[in-house]
Amino acid sequence: MKKVLMVMLTLVAVFLAACGGNDENTIQFWTPLTGDDGAYMDQLVEDYNATEPEIEVKHIITSDMYTKMYTVLNSGNGIPDLSIIHADRVPSFVKQDLLEPVTKIMEAQPELNADNYIEEAWSAGEVDGTQYTIPLDIHGSAMYYNQDLLEKYDVEHWLDDNVVTFDEMLSLQGQLEEGDYVLNDALLSWVLLAQIQNLGGDIQENGEPAVNTDAMRESIEAVKELSDAGLMTPYGEDGYLMFQSGNVLFSTDGTWSSTGHAQVEDLNFGVTNIYAFEPDTFHNRSSAHLFAMLSNEERSEEKEQGIADFLEFVRQNSIEWAEAGQIVASQDVIESPEYENYMQSFFTSTQEQEDSLYIYTYEHYPYVQEAMDNYVADLVHGEIDINTGLEEMQKFVEDKVAEGSLDMENTELLDEDELEEELSEE
């Protein structure tokens, strides 16, 4: 058995070395973009290589990228020159000395600076005053609405201030035709993370995870009231597809979902903010895809210059990335007239909208997210007592933290396309 394991590890090491950054003539670029967004990134890379740079970029998509990162970092072989990581990974990566600052990249291309990107996306890569990433996008919660159903129930005015409230939704209790619902429970944990910010709460206290809190309890109770009132799609039903079928007023899925909804014939839909308690306090739980360099003493100055050139190209030309349904981080792109054609431009249309995008960068956030994904649906739909569930969630996170620093082999977050698949198959 040990011999078999050694052979397997050797083969993995050889494969990763072949996909890593040992070729001085190519920038090896790893991403977790396993779905349609991977094709859009392929096109961006192809467009850049068509400019005939001194060092071309090779885009390598890896479905289990974080695990492979640990493998190559532990072996010291096959470390990619450039990667895309999620914002919530940055604090842990930095704490474990897995990331290099992007200082030299910024010096090589001075336009790669904070002024040229959405503030929330840029700051997600900053730790203790040092910048470790260059942002590609922001993505996260969105709420799509069915225009025909809003008209049917005479509630178009709910969108006058771009914020639908709990009280407004509750006003339709007992008013819906059989088979119609006000909202679904898609990405429910993300909805609750937005409510926690709306209530001024957090998921940590003095650096320690805080899940069993008044803000979490109040958020869950408020959403549970919608479920108890019969306004939410039934537990176990595919509320995402029910929205696409025209039976749900609001679907709380992701910014990238606009591409999927747009493929549904005769679905007359638009996008707004995640629902909130009050119209003047609203948030949309967000994350970001960030360009980062794993620690590697062998990365040459020539490759650093090549990486800087590629990232500057992306900064200027990432309208292609908007096709994937993402909120592009580059100010040049989001301020262009062409970007207004994309539905997600709503989230950067005003400073108030941009300020609503909230990225959690707490070190142990992945554990909190995992706990919420495991529990909150049961809590909202009344399968578990809220107090009992919160106690179990708190213990779950504390146990994870006690096991040691974030181990990416054991804690893997779904990327956007995997979430899209989850929504369609749940």
Residues 171, 249 within the same domain:
yes
Q: What is the DSSP string of 61-83?
A: E-TTHHHHHHHHHHHTSS--SEE
Longest dimension (CA), the chain: 69
137 by DSSP, 3-state: which?
A: strand
Residues 178, 277 within the same domain:
yes
Answer yes or no: is 275 within a domain: yes
Residues 34, 119 within the same domain:
yes
Distance CA 63, CA 57 (A): 19
Lowest mean pLDDT among 10-24, 78-92, 283-297, 390-404: 10-24
Name 289's bridge partners: 86
Answer yes or no: is 355 within a domain: no
Q: What six digits make up the tokens of 217?
A: 């309890």
Residues 114, 184 within the same domain:
no
286 by DSSP, 3-state: which?
A: strand
How does pLDDT run across 53-106, given as a tens digit for each residue?
Answer: 999 999 999 889 999 999 999 999 999 999 999 999 999 999 999 999 999 999
Answer yes or no: is 279 within a domain: yes
Residues 162, 278 within the same domain:
yes
Sign for the CA dihedral angle at 408, 94, 288, 81 comes to negative
Global pTM value: 0.89
CB atoms closer than 10 angstroms to residue 351: 8
28 by DSSP, 3-state: which?
A: strand
Distance CA 414, CA 416 (A): 7
Lowest mean pLDDT among 22-31, 116-125, 380-389: 22-31
How does pLDDT run across 243-274, given as a tens digit for each residue?
Answer: 999 999 999 999 999 999 999 999 999 999 99
Name 29's bridge partners: 59, 82
CB atoms closer than 10 angstroms to residue 117: 24
Name 183's bridge partners: 232, 250
Q: Find tokens 């809190």 and name the residue.
A: 213
Answer yes or no: is 325 within a domain: yes
The CATH number given to whatever domain includes residue 276 is 3.40.190.10
pLDDT of residue 5: 39
Residues 144, 251 within the same domain:
yes
Residues 130, 252 within the same domain:
no
What's the whole-number mean pLDDT along residues 387-403? 96
User: Which residue, among 343, 346, 345, 314, has the nearest Cα to 330 in the 3D structure?
Assistant: 314
In total, how many domains does the chain have?
2
Residues 223, 189 within the same domain:
yes
pLDDT of residue 63: 86
How does pLDDT run across 291-306, given as a tens digit for each residue?
Answer: 999 999 999 999 999 9
Answer yes or no: is 110 within a domain: yes
pLDDT of residue 367 exceeding 50, the answer is yes
Question: Whole-number mean pLDDT of the chain?
Answer: 91
**Contact of 396 with 371, CB cutoff 8 Å:** yes
Dihedral Cα 33, 42, 103, 312, nearest 10 deg:
-140
342 by DSSP, 3-state: which?
A: coil
Residues 270, 380 within the same domain:
yes
Residues 233, 150 within the same domain:
yes
357 by DSSP, 3-state: which?
A: strand
Residues 345, 418 within the same domain:
no
Residues 146, 39 within the same domain:
no
Answer yes or no: is 327 within a domain: yes
What's the whole-number mean pLDDT along residues 308-328? 96
Q: In terms of residue numbers, what domain contains 264? A: 140-286+361-425
pLDDT of residue 147 exceeding 80, the answer is yes
